[in-house]
Amino acid sequence: MQTEQTGLKRHLKVRHIRLMALGSTIGVGLFLGSASAIQIAGPSILLGYLLAGIVAFIVLRTLGEMAVHEPVAGSFAAYANTYVGPLAGYMVGWGYWTYWIVVGIAEVTAVGIYMGIWFPEVPQWIWALSSIVLMGLINLIAVKVFGEFEFWFALIKVVAIIAMIGLGGSVILFGFTNDWQPIGLSNLWQHGGFFPNGFEGMLLSLQMVLFAYVGIEMIGLSAGEAENPKKTIPMAIDSLAWRILIFYMGAILVILAIFPWNEVGQQGSPFVVMFERIGLREAAGLINFVVITAALSSCNAGIFSGGRLLYSLSTNGYAPASFAKLSKYGVPHRAVMATVGVCMSGVVLNYFVPDKAFQYIMAAVTFVGLMVWIAILFTQMKFRRSLTKAQVAELGYRAPWWPYSSWFALAFICLVVVLMGFHEDARIALILGPCLLGVYLAMFYIVGLHRKTKTQAVFKS
């Protein structure tokens, strides 16, 4: 296998992989961005999170099927190259690398903003730059050390959400801090009903809800460095799916039960208001700390993902050969440093470029994230069709209800892409996203990779 030939170390345990994927998904969007989705859909946002969670689970299972069968660095970019074609592998690899670069820039910018609450005299760019340097150093150490850092970063977020669900549940069921008068769940259907903005409101919120789950697929990139991937990957995927549903739906359910949906977000983060309602005056500082660790966790995972993708692209001639070099610890250090370097330049750009322009870039790569999900589903279909019945029967981990589940997920994602055109803030993604893919397509032909790949072996496995 590729990992054994090139020297990547299989030091990621199942607990590392679970929290890595969980940490990359539960970020600033849940803690601060959920209020916007609630304002669009009202309590029916719970249905949106459920549907999107089911689709995320299907994508994970289809990816897991390929990752267990062929646990290589580069994951779905490698599979797209092998089972669809070199152009697909090239586009998926570079597109997803760009996605994590910009996510990393956005997350460290968030660190700078929230550190400014505690240290207003320190320029924001210093915190952003310091965060990238710190996360870069962590990624240059052995992958086992990276896994430990990411585990504890993500665990802080998980504990905060569990605490909020537990304390909020006591308010709902027992009336804790409410003179022991249970609040109940009536806020879910009062104030305009479960669909206060109609079924259309729930549909329009789907693009925001599905974006919250984008990032969960990075679990596939860990397959090349997982201990016993045939065991750890299935365990991580199966447990991760229901955990994310609980964390997202549980947290949103508690907020919607305690507050009327039309009041959520009017006083800042719903999580801050939630803790203040139950009498924790230090809520702002606590949530500020959690949001900072959430952003660092996502940045950490992004540098890991970007480094492995760049390494995989390099080993197959799609990026400079120097990025395929490994350190004595089995880390693709040059690929990691290149990823960190681009993130640093992004901090500088973010210092000069207006916020609106930066939001447009984020919209473009969000579109790319959904395209990666489509690529994963389509690649798995091609993968299945390349196997004989006997080989399918021997698969150690299979996607459920195939091919109906894959077609359902594809249809759902395509629906969300269409719905983006009806949302003013997301509409720009339908313009910039294809433009970004167009740039990569042009580079594929300008550099001459379309000729090279006719005689070159595809991604090693």
Closest CA to 370 of 442, 303, 437, 300: 437
Q: Is 399:58 a contact under the CB 8 Å cutoff? A: yes
Closest CA to 290 of 32, 21, 6: 32
Task: Give pLDDT, residue 381.
Answer: 93
**Alpha carbon separation from 83 to 1, 75, 97, 437, 460 (Å, rounded):** 17, 12, 20, 20, 12
Q: In the chain, count H helices and then E strands.
A: 19, 0
**For the chain, which residues make up each domain, given as ranges?**
14-386+410-450
Task: Give pLDDT, residue 85.
Answer: 87
Q: Is 18:222 a contact under the CB 8 Å cutoff? A: no
**Alpha carbon separation from 388 to 57, 325, 395 (Å, rounded):** 25, 37, 11
Q: Which amino acid is at 325?
A: K
Tens-digit pLDDT profile for residues 74-83: 677 788 888 9
> Collapsing DSSP states into helix, strand and coil, what is residue 325?
coil
Query: What CATH number is given for 14-386+410-450 in this structure?
Result: 1.20.1740.10
Task: Give pLDDT, residue 377.
Answer: 94
Task: Give pLDDT, residue 460.
Answer: 42
Q: Which amino acid is at 342?
A: V
Task: Give pLDDT, residue 448.
Answer: 64
Question: Partners of 12 in the beta sheet?
Answer: 226
Q: What is the pLDDT along the chain (461 residues), one digit of tens a residue?
A: 344 444 555 545 555 566 666 665 666 556 656 777 888 888 999 999 899 889 988 998 998 888 888 877 667 778 888 899 888 888 888 888 888 887 777 777 778 877 887 888 888 788 888 888 888 888 887 666 667 777 777 778 778 788 888 888 888 888 777 677 788 888 889 888 899 988 888 988 888 788 778 777 777 665 555 566 777 778 777 777 777 777 788 888 888 888 888 877 665 566 666 776 666 666 667 777 887 887 887 788 778 878 888 887 888 778 888 888 887 777 888 888 988 888 887 677 666 654 555 556 666 667 888 888 999 999 999 999 988 888 888 888 888 888 899 999 999 999 998 888 887 777 878 888 888 888 888 888 877 665 555 434 444 43
pTM, two decimals, is: 0.82
